[in-house]
Amino acid sequence: MVDLRHHGDSEVGHGLLDFAVNVRDRTPPRWLAERIAASVADLAAYPDPAPARRAVASRHRRTPGEVLLTAGAAEAFVLVARALTPRRAVVVHPQFTEPEAALRAAGHPVERTILDGDFALDPDAIPEDADLVVVGNPTNPTSVLHSAGTLAKLARPGRTLVVDEAFADCVPGEPESLATRADLPGLVVVRSLTKTWGLAGLRVGYLLAEPALVRRLAEVQPLWSVSTPALVAACECSSPRAVAEADAWAAELAGRRARLAADLTALGLAVTPGARASFLLVRTPGADRLREALRTRGVAVRRGDTFPGLGGDYLRIAVRDDETNARLVGLLAELL
């Protein structure tokens, strides 16, 4: 049984060069940190999510009633697990393990659909009578991006389809995002501000769904769950200027990712093709030993064996700046 509650942050010890956690380098940007800091002046009042709801709705061309701010994407999974009583919940793996952990913690049985090979999603592999399906896009840890058309085929009346888009803004223009799709029944799109904006410690994300479902999920959310600084961050990160900044970063990320993938491939590591997020999934026999060796040389990469469907031969490597990536590649060349 794999440890569903293992996450990359526990692999980054003091002083280690971090290729294990997928938060963007040198974040939050100064302009954002300053606005969040300024919100401290308003902490005497209870938080009001209305402006953030409007800002997020406008960013995704939805209505405020289709938006629920959450304490990170992680809280959204807990709300889904609390509010729904699925008869047949299916989680598509390998993927981020918290959705399954939250469902299990709420007492729901969970089935897994395991993708293998190139980790492409075949909608026919999902049991027809599944009334809750959870899938990531692009997926952590594979970095694979499923098409909007493939995902849309999974939506149907009587089923809740949760699409975890925590890394969607790694893809310029977000062409495969379902965030704007108000037409798909039972769709819940979960977004995070943690990764691109470097706000892991603030806890801010949101979900988008039809208003009746948003109301059900809001009913099981602790009151004032999302703090005023987090709501300010949600407003700021939803502005056209912020979205353009993220998009420019995503375009530049693509080049660095391709160069790192080529370098790792040249070393004989099998890089999962089609990577579209801020990390690469790499397969090599004895990956665990390699990870330990990297650790003794001051570098942390994410183990693969705690993701259902991956074994001890996988590592996940965050894409950093070219210089930092080159340090990792140099070290790997020595070790391999």
Ligand X SMILES: Cc1ncc(COP(=O)(O)O)c(C=O)c1O
Binding residues for ligand X, rule CB under 6 A, total 12
- Which of these segments, 71-79, 105-113, 169-177, 294-302, binds ligand X (CB under 6 A)? 71-79
| Ranges of H-type helices in the chain | 30-38, 50-59, 72-83, 98-105, 148-152, 194-197, 211-219, 228-237, 240-266, 287-296, 322-335
| Closer residue to ligand X, CB minimum distance, 77 or 84 | 77
Site string for ligand X, 177-196 (x = CB under 6 A): ---------------x-x--
Helix axes 287-296, 322-335, angle to 10 degrees: 110
Q: Which is nearer to ligand X, 80 or 332 (CB)?
A: 80
Min dist CB 95 to ligand X, Å, is: 7
Q: How far is CA 251 from CA 25, 30, 47, 163, 259, in A?
A: 15, 21, 35, 23, 13
List C-alpha distances in Å: 287 to 65, 94, 327: 46, 17, 18
275 binds ligand X (CB under 6 A): no
Contacting range for ligand X; rule: CB under 6 A; set: 24-32, 35-43, 69-77, 310-318 = 69-77
- Binding ligand X by CB under 6 A: which of 64, 136, 186, 229? 136
Among 145, 142, 242, CA closest to 193: 242
Task: Answer yes or no: are the C-beta atoms of 40 and 177 closer than 8 Å.
Answer: no
Q: How far apart are CA 253 and CA 321, in angstroms?
A: 9
Nearer to ligand X, 204 or 299 (CB): 204
Q: How far apart are CA 121 and CA 105, in angstroms?
A: 26
Q: Tell me, what amino acid is at 140?
A: N
Residue with Cβ nearer ligand X (47 or 263): 47
Question: According to CB under 6 A, which one of 74, 84, 282, 310 is a site residue for ligand X?
Answer: 74
Minimum distance of ligand X from residue 289's CB (angstroms): 25
Quick one: angle between helices 240-266 and 322-335, nearest 10? 20
CB of 195 to ligand X, least distance (A): 7
Q: Which of residues 137-166 bind ligand X (CB under 6 A)?
A: 140, 164, 166
CA 39 to chain CA centroid, Å, is 26
Residue 73 contacts ligand X per CB under 6 A? yes
Given the complex with ligand X, which of 32 and 74 has the nearer CB atom?
Answer: 74
Among 28, 47, 72, 304, contact with ligand X (rule: CB under 6 A): 72
- 309 lines the binding site for ligand X (CB under 6 A): no
Residue with smaller CB distance to ligand X, 74 or 271? 74
Nearer to ligand X, 200 or 299 (CB): 200
Longest dimension (CA), the chain: 57
- The dihedral region occupied by 298, where left means phi > 0, alpha psi between -120 and 50, and beta the remainder, is left
Task: Scan residues 198-257 and list those touching ligand X (CB under 6 A).
Answer: 200, 205
How far separated are the first and last CA of the chain, in Å rounded?
30
CA dihedral 116, 169, 232, 77 (to 10 degrees): -20
Task: Give me the residue whose beta carbon is nearest to ligand X.
Answer: 72
- Stretch of residues binding ligand X (CB under 6 A), selected from 68-76, 102-110, 216-224, 228-236: 68-76
Q: What's the burial of 68, exposed, middle or buried (CB within 10 Å: 0-12/13-18/19+)?
A: buried
State which residue, 39 or 140, has the beta carbon closest to ligand X: 140
The residues of the shown chain that bind ligand X, judged by CB under 6 A, are 72-74, 96, 136, 140, 164, 166, 192, 194, 200, 205
